[in-house]
Chains A and B, each alone.
Chain A
Amino acid sequence: MSAETFTRDGDTMVRWFWWSSWSTERLEEWLEEQASRGWHLEKADRLLLRCRFRRGRPKKVRYCVDFPAEVSGDYYTLYSDAGWELVATSTGWYIWRAEYTGDRRPELFNDVQPLIERNNRLLLICALGLMSQLWIFLGPAREWFLSTTVGNIVLIPYVLVLFILVAGAGALAAQTQRLRQRKP
């Protein structure tokens, strides 16, 4: 996470926040903490990592990161009717927020089943990515990777991507296990 960057008038702040598909709760809690300090998310970049905040009154705001299986026109309408505001979106991910008072923190979901299904979809994406990467490595390009200098250099980021995919799949599976234990 980088240091806070303020504009000259001090009303806008830009911060980076590194999150991943298996740590959406961390992003939600961080955004909620900023809102409680009076900094409200105004815009995020295409990767939803660089966040621009605008100064306002400190408020209780619930932020939720959603990754729906499919989106039709009434997705936006239903969420908006229910009092949620879409703040940022990118490649299937949506950041929604709702202000609230009292102790009843609004939720997008009434139980953990949709979150388990979301994790299963993400696991499938990881598995497909892993299989395609392994196929490239084990296929005809294997010799090139191992026996040429350029191949050796390309192998380094390639192995890094493999590592991220395996780590991601493991983290998603562990999170699903925790969600199942929370399930009533």
Chain B
Amino acid sequence: MPVALTAVQRSYLPMSEAAYYILLSLTVPRHGYGIMQHVETITGGRLVLGPGTLYGSLSRMEKDGLIAVVVEENRRKVYVVTDAGRTLLQEELARLKELVANGVAALEVSRP
């Protein structure tokens, strides 16, 4: 369910590729390394998240209320996206759809 976003949460827009994929991965609960593996898989090996980027992003996103810790086991925190994080993802997705639609209209639609 969409929620009102704070200015800090809005500052993530437009999202970096890393932030987008981290949030997207957390639509399902995952720990840090699980996120790395998932992102590498769905991008066909193109994007390998560095552990420094991931650790810093997870700490900041948790502080900013975009993700939350579900459980901590064996010194591994399992995170999931919050309602605010999901709202942010939907806004970013709408922006990306607009980019793609305009790109397709300008470059791929055949003209008479």
Contacts and interface: CB of A to CB of B under 8 A. Distances in A.
Interface stretch (A26-34, A73-81, A159-167, A173-181): A73-81
B50 A78 contact: no
A156 B40 CA distance: 55
Contacts, number: 69
B32 A78 contact: yes
B16 A68 contact: no
Interface stretch (B3-11, B74-82, B88-96, B104-112): B74-82
Given A68-B55, A82-B51, A111-B18, 15 more contacts: A68-B52, A68-B56, A72-B59, A74-B32, A74-B75, A77-B76, A81-B36, A82-B50, A106-B48, A106-B50, A107-B50, A108-B53, A110-B17, A110-B50, A113-B16
Interface of B: 16-18, 31-33, 36, 47-56, 59, 72, 74-77
Interface of A: 64, 66, 68-70, 72-79, 81-82, 84, 104, 106-111, 113-114, 117
